[in-house]
Chain A
Amino acid sequence: MRVESIIYIYGAVCVSMIVFNIVYNIILKQSESSLKKRCERIKKQIEVQFDYIKTNGSIEQNHLHYMEHSLSRVSNLIAFERVIKDAINNGHEEEVNKYIGQMHSVSLYLAMVYSRRENMQAGYFTYFLSNYAVKKQMPIDSLQDILLSYVKKDNLYCRINALSALYNIGNIEHIISALKIQDDGVIYLNQKILTEGLLSYTGNYHKLIESLWKNFDSFSEHTKLAVLNYIRFKTGDYKEKMLEIMLNKNAEKEIRLSAIRYFGKYYYEPSLKYILDFVYNDDPSMWEYATVAVSSLEKYSGDEVIKALKKAIQSPNWYIRYQAAQSLDAHNLNYNALFDIINGSDRYAREMMTYRLESGKLQKVGSVKQ
């Protein structure tokens, strides 16, 4: 009897699996056709509102109430997004902007509704909001406050999309608050995502950077790095501040390295002395500083720089030699200037320089042919 019962259990599992397969297949087939029907229905309603905008300049109040109710269902929101996307692709961007521009109350209502939903739906709502429903400098403080609550959710995509919506709106105060909230350590937000997000901000970036500096010490190292990368990509106007960070021995290693990289992108005469100090520092534990410093010297010229690079290419550290060869090549020195390395007694330096020159030539040929 015991064995039979095992067989019955297996049989039951088999039957339930078959039922699951069949039911899911039916649901899948139906969901696509019902989405199409929803899209058609919403499209008709929106087209009527487009006509109202053309004639009266505004949409119907009833329509707003209807949309609040309708878009509270995520399946309708998906259909709505699809219709809006199609309208934009079909050249109706202006009408869409005017239409969405009058939907603030709906957005606000939905923001409240979806903030209470499960994370995946909340994530979708913030995606919708950041891509379609919020535009630069929208004066909707209450919506921004709700968006901050989305940044707190333990869903990565929800956080990314909510941050993106806040960058679109462009209120610096709220952006800073959001950056602080995401720094809670609950969900990991990659530096690249944070930096790319900041780069999507289209308002006055000087004002944003000033605020970021003001709050810099309150960020985690992870966020600080993203901020420094953003500033490096954006502008060379913060050299003094970066020099201060580069020279701050109490700052974290990656933060200081990021500051050195800044001077590899933007020339700043006062920084050269300190960059050279890093290059001449023979302490093996400081090799990362030396490597980044050597790389930054691509931007600087003069005998002093070449001398430092020639010293660096003889470093026992492979990475320093590699970067030094790259920087020397970037200075376009002639054969005579590199003679002492190419024909020198240091085999490692010779090999590295020779390779870099060969590789550099191939890269030039390659960039012409591409």
Chain B
Amino acid sequence: MTDAFKTFFNYVGIFFVIYMIGYASFLFLSVAVGSSMLYKLKRQNKLKNELSGDYYVPVSIIIPAYNEEVTIESSIRSLLALEYKLYEIIVVDDGSKDNTSKTVCDAFNMHIVNRPIQRKVYCQKEEKVFETYEYKVPITLIKKKNGGKADALNMGINAAKYPYFICMDADSVLQYDSLTKIVNPVLEEGNVIAVGGAVRPCNGTEIKNGRVISYKMPNKILPCMQVLEYDRSFLAARILFDKFNGSIIISGAFGLFKKSIVIDAGGYEINTMGEDMELVVKLHVFCRENDIPYRIRYATDAICWTQAPEKLLDLCKQRRRWHIGLFQSMVEHRKMFMKFKYGLVGSISYLYFLIYELLSPYIEIFGVFTILLAFAVDLINVPFMILFFFIYVIYSAILSLTAFFSRIHTIDLKLSLSDVLKAVGLCVLEVSCLRFILAWTRGSALIGYKSKKHSWGKIERKQIELK
């Protein structure tokens, strides 16, 4: 029996050594590439290697809204303060049960119009359309039957007048120069069909007219840990994937898309919880299958501020939703896995998301159970295990801090000593505790997910305080 256990643990050990080397190498590579890219961008800006003229690509900003009466007015006002000339705002009220539409109508003096909307991509029918031209840019409000976020976004695409559209969340705030920055890749390179913006938690940050007045780490522990996690996992990894046109996620909170290609690809998939990821993977598949030259870019300097969940329950809800979305997208487009036609997206990106995102919670939970089992049969070297865990925590924490400080240094933000200490202390807590809680959450996400496929998955968020 002991021999059987030994053989089992031997194989498990080999598997985990390979798994961890893969993860550590990826983490190192992404943080190293991400940081060096941020420093390169800073130098590029210093040496004025940037577009300085007023080149305006017309953009439609689509805000899908569901029960957003508290946040919607301030969101629209913040969009009206953007330093950009050629854009329109389209709010799609997806059958809210509160007064979302009324709030918008009252706040912006909207008038009902009999606007015909061409169905270029599938969505539920509109009930009422309102418009106003009394502000810097036209605002349209479409009230429609409830169909989910993807359905609301599809309605926005159908109503959009301009060749590029931006999707964003109703409770996020765009930085004053974010449109200019997100459009730049389109001007700099031909064939750009989508650009992802950088989404950052704004808890603790003071924002006035879309500008950061003061930046500090959030007071609460949970959002503070998410700030570090965002920089390590999202910022660094996305920069790395961007290097080989391998990004398969553009956050639903802030992304720019070429409308015609999205329509040709069929728009947002309404039967998925991760419509943002699904669309990007779909665009890769569509372009590669039809031999359309394309680029999907990531603009690190196009910033969208969002409220990170402050309660653990809300964070778990959010991550569960992301995990289900990831699962659905990967299953839906499984044909691209390791196929030559899909290039590095089908191999590196897909493999990474499969092993280190989709399956990682199960692998990690399996690892913990193996440790417990080994402990029970007295086949574990406890001091070595503790040392290994300690090394893992320090390694991950240092990479988190490198990504975090790279971002802070390269955008000239100043942190107080207390914030630096907070970041150092909490990154240890994040990799040693929060990571495992979220692994458990993600691991259990797929249980009974089918019943929630059209749900908006709302989490409790405070209104972003804009000065």
Taking Cβ atoms with an 8 Å cutoff, the residues of A that contact B are: 3, 6-7, 10-11, 13-14, 17-18, 20-21, 24-25, 28, 74, 78, 120-121, 123-124, 127-128, 155-158, 160-161, 188, 190, 192-193, 196, 318, 348, 351-352, 354-355, 358-359, 362-363, 365-367, 369-370
Pick out which of these stretches binds chain A: B97-105, B183-191, B199-207, B216-224. Answer: B183-191
Q: Mark B25-59, 1 if CB is under 8 A from A, else 0.
A: 00010010000000100011011111111111100
Q: Contact between B409 and A25 (Cβ–Cβ < 8 Å)?
A: yes
Q: Contact between A10 and B395 (Cβ–Cβ < 8 Å)?
A: yes
Q: Which residue of A lies closest to B129 (CB)?
A: A355
The CA-CA distance from A10 to B390 in the complex, in Å, is 11
Q: Contact between B134 and A193 (Cβ–Cβ < 8 Å)?
A: no
Pick out which of these stretches binds chain A: B87-95, B113-121, B314-322, B438-446. Answer: B113-121
The CA-CA distance from A170 to B21 in the complex, in Å, is 59
Q: How far is the CB of B403 from chain A (nearest CB, A)?
A: 10
Contact partner of B133 among A157, A160, A192, A365, CB < 8 A? A365
Q: Contact between A318 and B388 (Cβ–Cβ < 8 Å)?
A: no
Q: How far is the CB of A168 from chain B (nearest CB, A)?
A: 14
The CA-CA distance from A17 to B113 in the complex, in Å, is 59
Contact partner of B187 among A78, A123, A193, A366, CB < 8 A? A193
Interface: B461 (CB within 8 A): no
Interface: B111 (CB within 8 A): yes
Q: Which residue of A lies closest to B409 (CB)?
A: A28
Which residues of B lie under 8 Å from residue A11 when comparing CB positions? Answer: 391
Taking Cβ atoms with an 8 Å cutoff, the residues of B that contact A are: 17, 21, 24, 28, 31, 39, 43-44, 46-57, 111, 113-116, 118, 131-136, 138, 186-190, 387-388, 391, 394-395, 398-399, 401-402, 405, 409
Which residues of A lie under 8 Å from residue B136 when comparing CB positions? Answer: 370
Q: Contact between A3 and B57 (Cβ–Cβ < 8 Å)?
A: no
Q: Contact between B47 and A10 (Cβ–Cβ < 8 Å)?
A: no
Q: Contact between A10 and B409 (Cβ–Cβ < 8 Å)?
A: no
The CA-CA distance from A190 to B391 in the complex, in Å, is 49
Which residues of B lie under 8 Å from residue A158 when comparing CB positions? Answer: 49
Which residues of B lie under 8 Å from residue A318 when comparing CB positions? Answer: 118
Contact partner of B51 among A17, A128, A160, A366, CB < 8 A? A160
Q: Contact between A354 and B114 (Cβ–Cβ < 8 Å)?
A: yes
Contact partner of A123 among B49, B131, B388, B399, CB < 8 A? B49
Q: How far is the CB of B282 from chain A (nearest CB, A)?
A: 24
- The 3 A-B pairs of least Cβ separation, nearest first, read A366-B133, A124-B47, A188-B190
Q: Contact between A355 and B189 (Cβ–Cβ < 8 Å)?
A: no
Which residues of B lie under 8 Å from residue A367 when comparing CB positions? Answer: 133
Can you pick out 13 interface pairs between chain A and chain B where the beta carbons lie within 8 Å of each other? A6-B17, A13-B395, A21-B405, A78-B46, A120-B49, A158-B49, A161-B48, A190-B187, A196-B53, A318-B118, A351-B114, A351-B116, A365-B134
Known: A155-B49, A188-B190. A355 touches B395 (CB 8 A): no
Q: Contact between B134 and A366 (Cβ–Cβ < 8 Å)?
A: yes
Which residues of A lie under 8 Å from residue B52 when comparing CB positions? Answer: 127
Q: Contact between A355 and B391 (Cβ–Cβ < 8 Å)?
A: no
Q: Which of A13, A188, A193 counts the most B-chain CB atoms under 10 A from its CB?
A: A13
The CA-CA distance from A326 to B404 in the complex, in Å, is 51
Sample of 11 further A-B pairs with CB below 8 A, known A78-B47, A352-B116, A354-B114: A14-B394, A17-B399, A120-B47, A123-B49, A127-B52, A157-B48, A190-B186, A196-B55, A358-B111, A362-B132, A366-B133
Q: Contact between A190 and B113 (Cβ–Cβ < 8 Å)?
A: no
Which residues of B lie under 8 Å from residue A365 when comparing CB positions? Answer: 133-134
Contact partner of A192 among B28, B55, B114, B132, CB < 8 A? B55
Which residues of B lie under 8 Å from residue A351 when comparing CB positions? Answer: 114, 116
Known: A156-B188, A160-B51, A352-B116. A369 touches B57 (CB 8 A): no
Known: A78-B46, A188-B189. A14 touches B398 (CB 8 A): yes
The CA-CA distance from A28 to B409 in the complex, in Å, is 8
The CA-CA distance from A17 to B34 in the complex, in Å, is 13
Q: Contact between B48 and A369 (Cβ–Cβ < 8 Å)?
A: no
Q: Contact between A124 and B49 (Cβ–Cβ < 8 Å)?
A: yes
Contact partner of A10 among B24, B50, B116, B189, CB < 8 A? B24
Q: Which residue of B lies closest to A361 (CB)?
A: B111
Q: Which residue of A lies closest to B384 (CB)?
A: A3
Per DSSP, are chain A's interface residues mostly helix, strand or loop, or mixed? Answer: helix
Contact partner of A362 among B57, B114, B133, B395, CB < 8 A? B133
Q: How far is the CB of B48 from chain A (nearest CB, A)?
A: 4
The CA-CA distance from A345 to B376 in the complex, in Å, is 83
Which residues of A lie under 8 Å from residue B116 when comparing CB positions? Answer: 348, 351-352, 355
Q: Which residue of A lies closest to B54 (CB)?
A: A196
Q: Contact between B48 and A14 (Cβ–Cβ < 8 Å)?
A: no
Q: How far is the CB of A9 from chain B (nearest CB, A)?
A: 9
Q: Which residue of B lies closest to A354 (CB)?
A: B114
Known: A17-B399, A124-B47, A362-B132. A193 touches B53 (CB 8 A): yes
Q: Contact between A74 and B398 (Cβ–Cβ < 8 Å)?
A: no
Which residues of A lie under 8 Å from residue B54 when comparing CB positions? Answer: 196
Contact partner of B405 among A25, A74, A359, CB < 8 A? A25
Contact partner of A193 among B55, B391, B395, CB < 8 A? B55
Q: How far is the CB of A261 from chain B (nearest CB, A)?
A: 15
Q: Contact between B17 and A3 (Cβ–Cβ < 8 Å)?
A: yes
Q: Which residue of A lies closest to B395 (CB)?
A: A10
Contact partner of B44 among A3, A10, A120, CB < 8 A? A120
Q: How far is the CB of B21 from chain A (nearest CB, A)?
A: 7
Q: Contact between A10 and B114 (Cβ–Cβ < 8 Å)?
A: no
Known: A74-B47, A354-B114, A367-B133. A18 touches B53 (CB 8 A): no
Which residues of A lie under 8 Å from residue B114 when comparing CB positions? Answer: 351, 354-355, 358
The CA-CA distance from A11 to B402 in the complex, in Å, is 15
Which residues of B lie under 8 Å from residue A352 when comparing CB positions? Answer: 116
Q: Which residue of B lies closest to A360 (CB)?
A: B133
Which residues of B lie under 8 Å from residue A354 when comparing CB positions? Answer: 114
Q: How far is the CB of B364 from chain A (nearest CB, A)?
A: 18
The CA-CA distance from A128 to B47 in the complex, in Å, is 10
Known: A196-B55, A365-B133. A358 touches B113 (CB 8 A): yes
The CA-CA distance from A352 to B44 in the complex, in Å, is 49
Which residues of A lie under 8 Å from residue B399 when comparing CB positions? Answer: 17
Q: How far is the CB of B125 from chain A (nearest CB, A)?
A: 14
Q: Which residue of B lies closest to A126 (CB)?
A: B48
Contact partner of A7 among B388, B401, B409, CB < 8 A? B388
Q: How far is the CB of A187 from chain B (nearest CB, A)?
A: 9
Q: How far is the CB of A190 from chain B (nearest CB, A)?
A: 5
Which residues of A lie under 8 Å from residue B188 when comparing CB positions? Answer: 156, 188, 190
Q: How far is the CB of B314 from chain A (nearest CB, A)?
A: 32
The CA-CA distance from A7 to B405 in the complex, in Å, is 24
Q: How far is the CB of A296 from chain B (nearest CB, A)?
A: 19
Q: How far is the CB of B291 from chain A (nearest CB, A)?
A: 19
Q: Which residue of B lies closest to A27 (CB)?
A: B409
The CA-CA distance from A160 to B17 in the complex, in Å, is 50
